[in-house]
């Protein structure tokens, strides 16, 4: 296994750590052009994100998918913005913004 690159970012006030390994299993690209990449997204204090209620997401994909972006953080930003448009995420944000009496 190769090394992970770790970066941090803030999205809508949520602190996020992004860990990326562009060649998770080196053996996959020896027999094909496919490189299995691993991306981990972890929020501070387990804050939910549009694509994870637990604040942690492990994502395996072809490295070329993430390679289309300048950095893994850029990929995560686009992923967050796209999934933040879902009705489920909007509903959760509204719930979090409403005051409760009990």
Contact 22, 39 (CB under 8 A): no
The answer on pLDDT for 99 being more than 70 is: no
The pLDDT of residue 61: 94
The closest of 72, 79, 68 to 20, measured between CA atoms, is: 72
Span 32-73, pLDDT tens digits: 778 899 999 999 999 999 999 999 999 999 999 999 999 999
Q: What is the largest CA-CA distance in the chain?
A: 61
The pLDDT of residue 45: 95
Whole-prediction pTM value?
0.84
Q: Output 47 or 99, whichever has higher pLDDT.
A: 47
Q: Delimit the domains of the chain by residue range.
A: 5-97
Span 19-32, pLDDT tens digits: 999 988 876 556 67
The pLDDT of residue 90: 81
């Amino acid at each position: 296994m190769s090394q992970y690159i770790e970066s941090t970012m803030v999205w809508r006030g949520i602190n996020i750590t992004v860990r990326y390994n562009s060649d998770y299993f080196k053996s996959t690209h020896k027999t094909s052009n496919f490189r299995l990449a691993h991306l981990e997204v972890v929020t501070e204090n387990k804050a939910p994100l549009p694509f994870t209620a637990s604040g942690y997401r492990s994502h395996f994909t072809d490295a070329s998918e993430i390679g289309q972006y300048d950095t893994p953080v850029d990929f995560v930003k686009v992923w967050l913005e796209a999934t933040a448009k879902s009705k489920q995420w909007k509903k959760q944000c509204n719930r979090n913004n409403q005051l409760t009496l009990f």
